[in-house]
Structure 1
Amino acid sequence: MSHDSCCRGTDDCNASAGVLHDGVEPFERAIECVRELKRRKKSIYVLSNSSRGRDGTIRKLAAMGYDAEAFAGAMTSGHVAEAFLTSTLETVPEKACFLKLREILDAIAGEGRRARVAHATWSMRGNVQLGEAFGEAYQVVSIERPEDVDACDFVLAHGVEAFGRGDGEKELSVSDETMRLMIERAAEKKKPLVVANPDVVTVSGDELVMMPGTLATYYRDSFKYAHHGESGDEYVCLMGKPDGIVYDALLGEIGRTTAVDSRRVLAVGDSLSHDIAGANDADIDALFVCDTGIHAQEMRHARARSDDAVDALFDAHGAHPALVISRLEW
């Protein structure tokens, strides 16, 4: 496939952050690719499953050597989570989990009180600060033991290393096992889980690091066991890829602020279950970057066997890319 054939018919690229850097260092060839796309007047939006707000997304890329002016904008799952919870999100899908959470929050508001939140966050990676608008509507409760979860109305997961404190003190770091027990308790008590970063793992240099999407897996497994086979999906709100809520947010913003035709958008990503499957569900053509992300080893093994093995890998993740390249480069 030539570079021109990839770009022809495309006005806008929405790129996963994982095809631009490994969490620590940028991909040098991707820097040149972004530069060339800018020269060809392609609009590039970063669509990231970061649990943080979107304001610092492009600044972070610029610090890595990318041209900040090459990016038309950014959307993060963290931004979408905050917008949903503060009722500033333009479009919310008619989906059971969002309807259930909104029903619970409306009932609490009817009681004349703030909803009580258990806030799973980061410690080593930096605590996620909740905004002023969030603080006006919600009360963070201190969580030290699994049974403390009973006092909250829902769990908000920005990270997996700690729980925020309701008294303004430093977050309380917890072990992976304690975090799992907290989430399992929430599932047993049918406390909804709002996941601000649905990634299960992320690449950080040469390592794979657990992300909040893993908590959704813990929750569903425990919910099914505790509630006699119920799936628990109604109580798990994923605020990023692959859920359509983040695509609706980005495409809606593009439609309101630009003349880009949403039918001429290409999604570029390295996660089959999130970037590619999410784009498929949003009816967006998807370009899978296979050698620099979380599936690099799986893809090497599959390609060494046969094309059928590659197709089987795609099927296993419910993902069907329109295009596949080794890395983002020109």
Structure 2
Amino acid sequence: MTRIVESLAEIAAPYDALFCDLWGCVHDGHSPFPEAVAALQAFRAAGKQVILVTNAPRHRTSVERQLAKMGLPTDTWDAIATSGDAARAAMFTGAVGEKIWFMGEPHDRSFFDPLKIIENPVAVREVPLEEADGIVCCGPFDPMADPTDLRPALLLAKEKGLPLLCANPDIVVDRGDTREWCAGAVAALYAGMGGESLYFGKPHPPIYDLARRRLAALGTLPPDSRILAVGDGILTDIKGALGEDIDSLFITGGLAREETGTTRQPVAEKLDAYVSKEMIAPTYAIGYLR
């Protein structure tokens, strides 16, 4: 049974590192949550390390700039691992060919920035769908539109046998009080139509491998038993932690706040019903990171 806790500090002692989600846990897409900031600062002040593990479909430098603009203090984290970085490595090694049809918003085009760590990278270039070898999806063109609006284009892509590289497996995200569609919704639609979708963010292994490399680069790599994953996505953060055999802290006040009845804390009966329905059990749960 999932244990409901009052604070990160209550359970921090057995852990040397956090794999901490961003959106819905540390910020709302506009500004940081003060209690979450304080919790991460206290965790690091105890000599522990925080890796921000995010399904953002961009490289870590882009995410770092976004966090600085948002006002997240730099003493809340040690390194960043993004779904975008894991997916970019796959693209530049040829996972979806050289001629790419791009799906996403203009700010997502940093996905195509050069990746120097790849030796002899594939010379990818953007082309119309009709000429493409594959698709890179950083999200729908309009995050407020129903993803099914993309069905005609995806049907053509499926008929051409194009693989779709999903740079962000999240289905939805909440920007303040507004819910937006993410690349995971497009990839799920494509897979449901019989297309091939390739995933690199949570809950899939590549991003956890990247997070461990980021942690090791800091000079230490604790065993998985001493890493705690923090996130608000039951099907991404928590499912991924279970797959990696890592303990998890479920932030119920994010994507699942209605299902779990969360105000300050989740309603125990609703939390139990929710995790039973999803058949994914977090180690711990808390309303908001604090």
TM above 0.5, one fold? Answer: yes
Give the aligned length.
273
Aligned-pair RMSD on alpha carbons? 2.5
Counterpart CA distance in 2 for 1:136 and 1:14 is 31
Aligned match for 1:265, one of 198, 203, 227:
227
Residue aligned with 1:300, SS: coil
Q: Shift of residue 218 of structure 1?
A: 1.1
1:158 partner amino acid? C
2:221 partner amino acid? V
Aligned match for 2:135, one of 148, 155, 171:
155
The answer as to whether partners of 1:161 and 1:179 remain within 8 angstroms in 2 is: no
The one-character-per-residue Cα deviations of 1:142-179 (angstroms, maximum 9, x if unpaired) are 24xxxx2xx311111012117xxxxxxxxxxx985552
Counterpart CA distance in 2 for 1:270 and 1:320 is 13
Work out whether 1:245 is the aligned partner of 2:228. Answer: no
- Greater share of residues in helix: 1
The answer as to whether partners of 2:51 and 2:215 remain within 8 angstroms in 1 is: no
The answer as to whether partners of 2:139 and 2:184 remain within 8 angstroms in 1 is: no
Q: Shift of residue 40 of structure 1?
A: 1.4
Q: Shift of residue 203 of structure 1?
A: 0.7
The answer as to whether partners of 1:180 and 1:215 remain within 8 angstroms in 2 is: no
- What does residue 75 of structure 1 align with? 81
Q: Shift of residue 31 of structure 1?
A: 1.6
Give the TM-score of the pair, scaled to structure 1.
0.75
- What does residue 121 of structure 1 align with? 104
Q: Shift of residue 310 of structure 1?
A: 2.8
Work out whether 1:182 is the aligned partner of 2:168. Answer: no
Work out whether 1:317 is the aligned partner of 2:275. Answer: no
Counterpart CA distance in 1 for 2:146 and 2:251 is 33
The answer as to whether partners of 2:212 and 2:221 remain within 8 angstroms in 1 is: no
- What does residue 252 of structure 2 align with? 290
Counterpart CA distance in 2 for 1:136 and 1:316 is 43
The answer as to whether partners of 1:59 and 1:68 remain within 8 angstroms in 2 is: no
- What does residue 275 of structure 1 align with? 237
Counterpart CA distance in 2 for 1:296 and 1:185 is 37
Counterpart CA distance in 1 for 2:123 and 2:26 is 36
The answer as to whether partners of 1:279 and 1:286 remain within 8 angstroms in 2 is: yes
Counterpart CA distance in 2 for 1:132 and 1:255 is 24
The answer as to whether partners of 2:18 and 2:227 remain within 8 angstroms in 1 is: yes
Report the CA distance shift for 1:175/1:38 in structure 2 as closer, same or farther (over 3 A): closer
- What does residue 62 of structure 1 align with? 68
Q: Shift of residue 27 of structure 1?
A: 1.0
The answer as to whether partners of 1:80 and 1:249 remain within 8 angstroms in 2 is: yes
Counterpart CA distance in 2 for 1:154 and 1:239 is 16
The answer as to whether partners of 1:161 and 1:175 remain within 8 angstroms in 2 is: no
Work out whether 1:202 is the aligned partner of 2:188. Answer: no
> Comparing both chains, which one has the higher relative contact order based on Cα–Cα distances under 8 Å and sequence gaps of 6 or more?
2
**Identical amino acids, percent of aligned pairs:** 25
Write the mapping of 1:81-230 to structure 2, written as runs, cut at 5 A.
81-87=87-93, 102=95, 105=97, 115-123=98-106, 126-129=107-110, 130-132=112-114, 137-143=123-129, 148=130, 151-161=131-141, 176-223=147-194
The one-character-per-residue Cα deviations of 1:50-73 (angstroms, maximum 9, x if unpaired) are 011111323433333332133110
Residue aligned with 1:63, SS: helix
Report the CA distance shift for 1:85/1:30 in structure 2 as closer, same or farther (over 3 A): same
Consecutive unaligned residues in structure 2, runs of 5 or more: none
The answer as to whether partners of 1:196 and 1:239 remain within 8 angstroms in 2 is: yes
Q: Shift of residue 249 of structure 1?
A: 1.4
Work out whether 1:51 is the aligned partner of 2:57. Answer: yes
- What does residue 197 of structure 2 align with? 236
Counterpart CA distance in 1 for 2:65 and 2:77 is 10
Higher mean C-alpha displacement, 251-260 vs 268-277: 251-260
Q: Shift of residue 38 of structure 1?
A: 2.2
1:287 partner amino acid? L
Work out whether 1:23 is the aligned partner of 2:29. Answer: yes
The answer as to whether partners of 1:273 and 1:318 remain within 8 angstroms in 2 is: no
Write the mapping of 1:293-308 to structure 2, written as runs, cut at 5 A.
293-300=254-261, 307=269
Report the CA distance shift for 1:2/1:317 in structure 2 as closer, same or farther (over 3 A): closer
- Please say which structure displays the higher CA radius of gyration: 1
Consecutive unaligned residues in structure 1, runs of 5 or more: 88-100, 106-114, 163-173, 224-231
Residue aligned with 2:249, SS: strand
Counterpart CA distance in 2 for 1:318 and 1:47 is 23
- What does residue 166 of structure 1 align with? none
Q: Shift of residue 2 of structure 1?
A: 6.1
The answer as to whether partners of 2:103 and 2:135 remain within 8 angstroms in 1 is: yes
